[in-house]
């Protein structure tokens, strides 16, 4: 089962760049002077790499948030990171800075993280549910502000904002890839460095504390790293929901091992899931791409409910 | 170096001061809600306070091996977030030294057969034994056991009694319990909390004097032929 899944995933990753509105074949792709070569290396390949990295970051970010907040529904999106990015994108569009959208989105995501941390530092003691509630309050505040932006924008701007909220993997060239690779490596490296602490956090906060761990510092470092990585990812692609929520749950119910042993599989399959969703989104209709956020939810929700039903049979 | 708490007060505890030399054991008694668990969490640093000093360190501001080595708290129930952690994996995490003989401790506690089981599938008695095994592996200078016999059947109480009596011989054990007969048979010094204050701190023999029991428990507890029982 696991080996089949790996073979299938690698197969998907290999064939993904070849399919889309223009089907490509290997021979023409290898011909450096052809249009197909250009499509493959400038559009399709960067897109697949982008999807893989963003999927991996979102899935792993979801897992870390679920561990830290002790809540199976929490993801970086729950804390308002994505809403912050969306709001700042809307501001950029309304103010006419359309070329700086990624920068604005990143500032939006990171300022949310900074607000969150400055508020939690004022809390008398570490309390993950307060942090979660503050995140939810921020999300509502951002939604209201986004409504205001919609109200203030013209038809064209409204459409652009709407399009960003649906998520998109459209990129040209490898320009944005290095920074995403950096974020993904940073995230994996931090989790690898804090491997012992993460294992202890999987038992209970008290138990981790009694083994000498500085629980507050550890959870803040983990949350901050995830937020930076997700903030960067969202700034390039818009908010792509559901990956961070379902991939950790799906892998746990398939592998049936503790989460510390699922770090790399969750990153890998998160990436594969987004590549597969994008592949379907690009090929279901012949004339247009279906927004990636729509595909991830259409694919993920039924499978997720099926798995829940299977593991909680009456 | 002793464990020392000096002039600690909060919402439920008032002016708590006592010290316990390393190697000495203590039983913490008192009615429900009097603050026994709160006191345990203060001593182990989980509730921040600068009134506690163990081996020269303040447990709420010190991190790392030295704090872990000085004090450990064993909760009344085994709580584990990840449902796929096995007993063996949990006990591996319990060990704070580079080398630990998990199998030997499992044998000593009599739960070798539980090793591959998932912690989430254990019964309350099994969980309690796993918690004790975890404390034996941790080997802190001071270990607080919070109600280790709550909700257990008589045989389990018997085995936990003998573990509490014999294990960690050179270390200090602080046991919170409502099981007065267990407290009496263990014979450790007693600290009795009432109305947020230390109402008694002394030897087991003095505490279990029939007249003293009568004043503290208003006739609810009686001593009979070297046994303590609830007067029903």
* A34 located within any domain: no
Torsions phi, psi for B132 (to 5 deg): -65, -45
Domain assignment present for residue A49? The answer is no
Using 50, 70 and 90 to split pLDDT, how confident is the model at A274? very high
A203 to chain B: closest CA residue: B80
Segment A103-120, tens digit of pLDDT: 888 888 888 878 877 877
| Domain ranges, ordered by start, for chain B | 3-230
In chain B, what percentage of residues exceed pLDDT 70?
A: 100
Cα–Cα distance measured from residue A155 to residue B22, given in angstroms and rounded to the nearest whole number: 75
Q: Is the dihedral of CA A171, A174, A176, A177 positive or negative?
A: positive
Q: Decide which of A2 and B97 is more confident.
A: B97
Tokens of B70: 């000085």
CB within 8 Å: A212 and B65: yes
Give the nearest partner residue to A214 out of B44, B63, B94, using CB atoms: B63
Domain at B3-230, CATH from 3.40.640.10, 3.10.105.10, 3.30.70.100, 3.40.50.300: 3.40.50.300
CA–CA separation, B120 and B127 (whole Å) = 9
Inform me whether the C-beta atom of residue B35 falls under 8 Å from chain A C-beta atoms: no
pLDDT at position B33 over 80: yes
What CATH number has the domain bearing residue A226?
A: 1.10.3470.10
Mean pLDDT of A38-45: 89
Cβ count within 10 A of residue B158: 13
**Is residue A240 in some structural domain?**
yes
Q: Cα–Cα distances in Å, from B199 out to A53, B4, B180, B196, B205?
A: 63, 18, 16, 9, 16
pLDDT per residue over A42-82, tens digit each?
889 999 999 999 999 999 999 998 898 887 777 887 778 88
pLDDT, one tens digit per residue, over B172-203 is: 999 999 999 999 999 999 999 999 999 999 99
- Test mutation, A64, A74, A129, A203, chain B, max B CBs within 10 A: A203
Instruction: Identify the pLDDT of residue A223.
Output: 85
Tell me the longest C-alpha to C-alpha distance in chain A: 65
CB contact under 8 A, A206 and B48: no
Q: Please determine, for the modelled complex, whether the ipTM score is greater than 0.95.
A: no
Tens of pLDDT along B161-177? Answer: 999 998 888 899 999 99
Instruction: Determine the distance in angstroms separating the CA of A74 from the nearest CA of chain B, rounded to an integer.
Output: 15
Q: What is the Cα–Cα distance from B71 to A52, expressed in whole angstroms?
A: 46
Q: How many domains does chain A have?
A: 1
Strands B189-194 and B197-202: antiparallel
Q: How confident is the model at residue B77 (pLDDT cuts 50, 70, 90)?
A: very high
In a domain, residue A254? The reply is: yes
pLDDT at position A124: 60
* B151 backbone φψ class: left, alpha, beta (φ>0; ψ -120 to 50): left
Contact list in A for residue B66 (CB cut-off 8 A) is: 212
Average pLDDT over residues A10-15: 93
Contact A108, A171 (CB under 8 A): no
- Burial class of residue A9 (count of CB atoms within 10 Å of its CB; 0-12, 13-18, 19+): middle
Cross-chain residue pair B73–A210, CB shorter than 8 Å: yes
Note whether residue A68 is domain-resident: yes
What is the pLDDT at residue A313? 64
Flag whether residue A68 sits within 8 Å of chain B, measured between CB atoms: no
Helix (H) or strand (E) holding B185: helix B180-186
Q: Across the interface, do B81 and A207 touch by the CB < 8 Å criterion?
A: no
Q: Would you call A213 an interface residue with chain B, using a CB distance cutoff of 8 Å?
A: yes
pLDDT tens-digit series, residues A167-189 = 888 877 788 899 999 999 999 99
B85-120: pLDDT as tens digits: 999 999 999 999 988 899 999 999 999 999 999 999
Measured CA distances, A23 to A14, A20, A28, A37 (Å): 14, 6, 11, 12
pLDDT band at B153; cut points 50, 70, 90: confident
Distance of CA A4 to the CA centre of its chain: 25
């Amino acid at each position: 089962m696991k080996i089949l899944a790996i073979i299938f995933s690698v197969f998907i990753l290999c064939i993904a760049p070849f399919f889309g509105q223009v089907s490509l074949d290997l021979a023409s792709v290898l011909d450096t002077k052809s249009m197909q070569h250009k499509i493959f290396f400038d559009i399709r390949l960067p897109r697949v790499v982008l999807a893989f990295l963003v999927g991996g970051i979102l899935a792993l970010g979801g897992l870390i948030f679920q561990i830290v907040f002790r809540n199976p529904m929490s993801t970086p999106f729950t804390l308002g990171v994505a809403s912050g990015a969306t709001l700042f994108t809307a501001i950029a569009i309304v103010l006419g800075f359309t070329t700086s959208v990624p920068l604005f989105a990143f500032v939006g995501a990171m300022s949310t993280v900074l607000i969150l941390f400055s508020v939690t530092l004022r809390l008398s003691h570490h309390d993950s549910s307060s942090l979660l509630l503050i995140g939810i309050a921020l999300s509502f505040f951002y939604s209201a502000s986004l409504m205001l932006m919609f109200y203030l924008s013209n038809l064209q701007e409204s459409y652009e904002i709407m399009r960003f909220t649906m998520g998109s993997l459209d990129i040209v060239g490898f320009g944005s890839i290095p920074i995403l690779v950096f974020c993904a490596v940073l995230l994996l490296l931090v989790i690898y460095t804090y491997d012992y602490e993460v294992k202890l956090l999987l038992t209970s906060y008290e138990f981790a504390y009694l083994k000498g761990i500085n629980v507050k510092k550890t959870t803040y470092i983990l949350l901050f790293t995830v937020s930076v990585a997700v903030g960067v990812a969202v700034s390039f692609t818009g908010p792509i929901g559901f990956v961070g929520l379902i991939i950790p749950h799906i892998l746990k119910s398939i592998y049936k091992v503790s989460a510390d042993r699922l770090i790399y599989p969750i990153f890998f399959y998160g990436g594969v899931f987004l590549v597969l969703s994008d592949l379907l989104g690009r090929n279901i209709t012949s004339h247009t791409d279906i927004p990636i956020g729509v595909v991830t939810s259409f694919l993920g929700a039924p499978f997720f409910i099926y798995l829940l039903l299977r593991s909680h049979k009456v | 170096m002793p464990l020392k708490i000096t002039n600690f007060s909060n919402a439920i505890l008032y002016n708590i001061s006592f010290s316990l030399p390393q190697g000495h054991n203590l039983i913490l008694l008192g009615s429900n809600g009097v603050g026994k668990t709160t006191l345990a969490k203060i001593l182990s640093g989980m509730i921040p306070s600068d009134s506690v000093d163990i081996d020269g360190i303040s447990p709420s501001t010190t991190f790392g091996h030295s704090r872990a080595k000085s004090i450990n708290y064993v909760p009344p129930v085994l709580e584990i977030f990840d449902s796929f952690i096995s007993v063996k994996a949990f006990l591996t995490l319990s060990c704070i030294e580079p080398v630990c003989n998990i199998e030997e401790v499992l044998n000593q506690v009599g739960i070798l057969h539980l090793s591959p089981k998932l912690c989430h599938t254990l019964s309350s008695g099994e969980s309690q034994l796993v918690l004790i095994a975890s404390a034996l592996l941790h080997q802190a200078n001071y270990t607080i056991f919070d109600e280790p016999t709550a909700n257990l059947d008589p045989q389990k109480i018997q085995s936990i009694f003998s573990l509490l009596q014999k294990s960690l011989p050179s270390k200090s054990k602080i046991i919170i319990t409502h099981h007065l007969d267990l407290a009496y048979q263990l014979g450790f010094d007693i600290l009795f909390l009432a109305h947020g204050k230390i109402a008694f701190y002394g030897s087991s023999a003095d505490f279990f004097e029939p007249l003293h029991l009568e004043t503290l428990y208003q006739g609810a507890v009686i001593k009979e032929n070297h046994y303590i029982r609830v007067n029903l």
